[in-house]
Structure 1
Amino acid sequence: MTETPGATDKGKLTRRKVVVAGGAAVAAVGVGGAAAVNAFAGERGADSPGTASEACYTLTSETTEGPYYIDADKIRQDITEDEQGIPTTLRLRVIDAESCRPLKNAAVDIWHCTALGVYSGYESMGNGGGGGGPAPTGVPSGSPTGEPPTGEPPSGGPTGGPGGGGGGHAEPTDDERYLRGTWKTDRHGYVTFRTVFPGWYQGRCVHIHVKVHVDGEWTSAGYEGGHTCHTGQLFFSEESVLASAEVAPYSTNTRTRTTLDEDTIYPDNGHAGGLLYLKYDRRNIARGVHAHLTMGVTPDETHDSTDTPPSASASASAG
């Protein structure tokens, strides 16, 4: 799907400077994170891989930045703050799609909505309902009604652009920054975040936005310079979303849900398209979710959004 690129340069990292919001933010580790890690010890959901990690990966699909990106200003691993939801640990590995070598010291941004479909920084835009009315009598079905977005906000949905889709960048409406954060990859290319399982809003399936920045410098003030080499989204299986919908506060989300198959942003190519591997107790997902994925990127290229397609040379699996 062709998306309209953002109307500003907020996604670019050239000469960008990130300010650390206090020393405590750098060392923050989620309260719910430990519970999530313990929850999946010895347990495996239907979405988890059955074998060890493969030797190499294809290029991860680029997708739209969406209207709700805010240039990173929270250098932290725990992005939960006081948001309620299923404890989720997200572990990503970033590698060069051509050489398969890990990218160390890259800056990884993630951001996503709350269990009720609201983005921090854009609270006044709401989610078109999201628990504001009476609780539903049942969980969302696997075949919800309603049409996927076509470039315009769905009726009654978020204003200022389609939720998480295209339509250009929307200016923040407030100073809240929960469920947003940036952290650096280690020497093996890994980065880990503590958060909560995202919710949904009309027109989009459940997802997490992600950006990878390289060639910048980590300083006492944060991350400076460099460029964005990947802009994408991470997706969750239908089974996991339906399980989450039985747990409060997700069970109070009254908005029409778009399934993974109906979503017009998901590239429908499995893990190469951002579909996460998941581990959780299928009998009790509320105990916590562990999500992971290896992302193949092109560090020498700039991809602020889908306006710059990935190079063909990196489209095939190396080695």
Structure 2
Amino acid sequence: MDSQPPTDSEVPEDKGQLARRTVLVAGGVAVTAVGVAGALSASASAQENAPRPHPPKPTASGEACYTLTSELTEGPYYIDADKIRRDVTEDEEGIPLTLDLKVIDADTCRPLRNAAVDIWHCNATGVYSGYESTGGGGGPAPTGAPPSGTPTGTPTGGPPPGGGGGHQEPTDDDRFLRGTWHTDRRGHVIFKTVFPGWYQGRCVHIHIKVHVDGEWTDAGYEGGHTCHTGQLFFDEKSVIATSVLDPYVSNTATRTTLTEDGIYPQNGHEGGLLYLKYDRRHIGRGVHGHLTLGVAPDETNDGEGGGGPGPSASASPSASAS
């Protein structure tokens, strides 16, 4: 069967289904590393306090390359049957987010062509599709006073329903804010989605997986293995800017900051911190986020073994949620 990835006309973005993949058993320790892409726009958050990424290493040809991007936990809300599409928004309300990613081989600096990239994240009120009946993530849309611009500090209590890091089986058929698409010959993949919200125990984030060595068929992407499982993060200035707009303003869940989060490795763009570009006065018009992911295509990193800085670095007892 033709192993080339589907074109827009071959796979409807709203109806294609991803076949179950054969994933190899994880066999290595997570490696903290760097994904660096572009420069931060003057209209975006300057991220002054974020740790500086390690400088890129030169290749034999003199071209700059990158070390591995941090491997992190998969979390409980991954569904291996997502739709083959780039626009994952469906009818979810929120600030438009264009997610522009480049996937490269960290050793050779060559782009990974035809890799399958999964993304999934909660909506503006902290709920993951597929888990609405159990309150997956932040549970039903909260009511009451909106959060202030100042973070509320360390959350208390146990993890949210379905949390704890172990995989949870979905309870419904909704699949908003989930999707899979292939990288082009330059290793690029672009998704259209909305700026995520938050839920107790976690900072604002997007989950991501990269699959290689499989085949694109009429049914989707089959076989191969997962070479990267990570998360993408947003700086505090952008999150605070979104929190005063609808529908984010209705989210009264205790918000964990980037520095309080127990999954984010606290290592800047190495750990998945996105470069963001937006109009500071009108963030509601849309946000552009981009990052280069350096991966090891010959390794298997399925995220089931956890990741992140570990319990000693966690400021939140409920940060083991997804």
Normalised TM-score (structure 2)? 0.76
Residue in structure 1 matched with residue 195 of structure 2 by the alignment = 197
Match of 2:144 among 128, 134, 142: 134
Q: Deviations over 1:96-140 (max 9, x none)?
A: 01111100000000000000000000001224556432232x534
- How do 1:69-218 and structure 2 match up within 5 A? 69-126=78-135, 127-128=137-138, 131-136=141-146, 138-147=147-156, 154-155=157-158, 158-162=160-164, 166=165, 168-218=166-216
Give the secondary-structure state (helix, strand or coil) at the position aligned to 1:24. coil
Match of 2:65 among 20, 45, 56: 56
Supply the AA of the counterpart residue of 1:158: P
Conserved? CA contact 2:276–2:288, under 8 Å: yes
Q: CA deviation at 1:75?
A: 0.2
Supply the AA of the counterpart residue of 2:12: A
Distance 1:305 1:120 in 2: 20
Supply the AA of the counterpart residue of 1:73: D
Q: CA deviation at 1:58?
A: 2.0
Distance 2:85 2:97 in 1: 15
Q: CA deviation at 1:308?
A: 8.5
Supply the AA of the counterpart residue of 2:267: N
Distance 1:47 1:69 in 2: 32
- RMSD in angstroms over aligned alpha carbons? 2.6
Residue 303 to residue 78, structure 1, CA distance change in 2 (3 Å): same
Match of 1:267 among 244, 265, 270: 265
Number of positions where the alignment pairs a residue of Structure 1 with one of Structure 2: 262
Conserved? CA contact 2:200–2:255, under 8 Å: yes
Distance 2:139 2:109 in 1: 44
Residue 131 to residue 221, structure 1, CA distance change in 2 (3 Å): closer
Give the secondary-structure state (helix, strand or coil) at the position aligned to 1:208. strand
Conserved? CA contact 1:211–1:232, under 8 Å: yes
Supply the AA of the counterpart residue of 1:219: T
Gaps of 5+ in 1: 1-17, 29-41, 148-153, 310-319
Distance 1:73 1:173 in 2: 15
Give the secondary-structure state (helix, strand or coil) at the position aligned to 2:284. helix
Q: CA deviation at 1:26?
A: 6.4
Q: Deviations over 1:3-61 (max 9, x none)?
A: xxxxxxxxxxxxxxx9x9x9432699xxxxxxxxxxxxx97212489xxxx73222100
Residue in structure 1 matched with residue 315 of structure 2 by the alignment = none
Residue in structure 1 matched with residue 286 of structure 2 by the alignment = 288
Residue in structure 2 matched with residue 317 of structure 1 by the alignment = none
Match of 1:297 among 276, 288, 295: 295
Conserved? CA contact 1:48–1:278, under 8 Å: no
- How do 1:239-278 and structure 2 match up within 5 A? 239-278=237-276
Gaps of 5+ in 2: 1-5, 17-40, 49-55, 57-63, 308-322
Distance 1:199 1:128 in 2: 9
Residue in structure 2 matched with residue 13 of structure 1 by the alignment = none
Runs of 4+ in 1 over 6 A off after TM superposition: none
Distance 1:204 1:80 in 2: 22
Residue 26 to residue 118, structure 1, CA distance change in 2 (3 Å): closer
Equivalent pairs: percent with the same residue? Answer: 67
Supply the AA of the counterpart residue of 2:13: A
Give the secondary-structure state (helix, strand or coil) at the position aligned to 2:12. helix
